[in-house]
Amino acid sequence: MAQQVAVAVTETILAKAFGPNIEVRQGGLNAQEFAFAKEVSQFTHSTLVGTPKGQPGIDGILSAPAGALSGYGDVRGVASLTETSRDNARVLLDLAGDKETSAKNAGNKNVDLFIRANKIDSKTALEFVQRGPGFTNVTSRGTIRSINIFTSDKKVVTISGNAVKVCDTKGKCQ
């Protein structure tokens, strides 16, 4: 008991001094997936644990990092990661709908979707998101909780419920 308290106190002091200990555990992710998982972890300030390969619709579990005030191991969400090199912003809506169907078919709820869009910048993504209710429809049906688009100009356009924001890759939003 005393040892556990000592560990908790040490973790809290370290977290206050250096920030919480964010980790990314590879699980079934390959090297390219692992690299994106690190960006997602940095953006969400969460530890990301990769799921095994044989699971449709999701790629990782987001949890509070060791030493975070909410406590180690608190699950924050389920992550679905995908990537596109298309430059037509419509692909973002296609992917959001496809991933919603995939997650729903697999019985998942409240999934956070992360899309790496290699050829779409934040201005283009934001304009497309604001053209209609397509994205907010996805994030309000219960399967996908948020859509986070990592754009070519190193920003993240994030849609959560009905709110749309542009953030930097460290999670600081305008």
Partner 1 sequence: MSIDLAVRLTRPVRLASLLAGTERALQYILELPRGPSVHAEDYLRREPLKGSAVLESQSGSIKVAMKSYEDDPVFLFVSERGGDPITSEGRGTFAVVEVHGGSVGLVLAAAVAVALARECKSEIEDNRPYFSSDFEQSSDKFLMAIKGINVNENLRLAVAELRRSIAKG
- Interface with partner 1 by CB under 8 A: which residues? 28-30, 32-33, 36-37, 53-57, 59, 80-86, 90-91, 93-95, 97-99, 101-102, 105-107, 116, 118, 131-134
Shortest gap between Cβ of 115 and partner 1 (angstroms)?
10
Looking at beta carbons only, is 81 or 125 nearer to partner 1?
A: 81
Shortest gap between Cβ of 132 and partner 1 (angstroms)?
3
Shortest gap between Cβ of 37 and partner 1 (angstroms)?
8
Looking at beta carbons only, is 68 or 92 nearer to partner 1?
A: 92
Q: How far apart are CA 138 and CA 113, in angstroms?
A: 11
- Angle formed at CA 53 by CA 138 and CA 155, multiple of 5 degrees: 45
Query: 139: helix, coil or strand?
Result: helix
Shortest gap between Cβ of 96 and partner 1 (angstroms)?
10
Tell me which residue of 147, 60, 59 sits closest to 96, measured CA to CA: 147
Q: How far apart are CA 8 and CA 90, in angstroms?
A: 47
**Total count of residues recorded for the chain:** 174
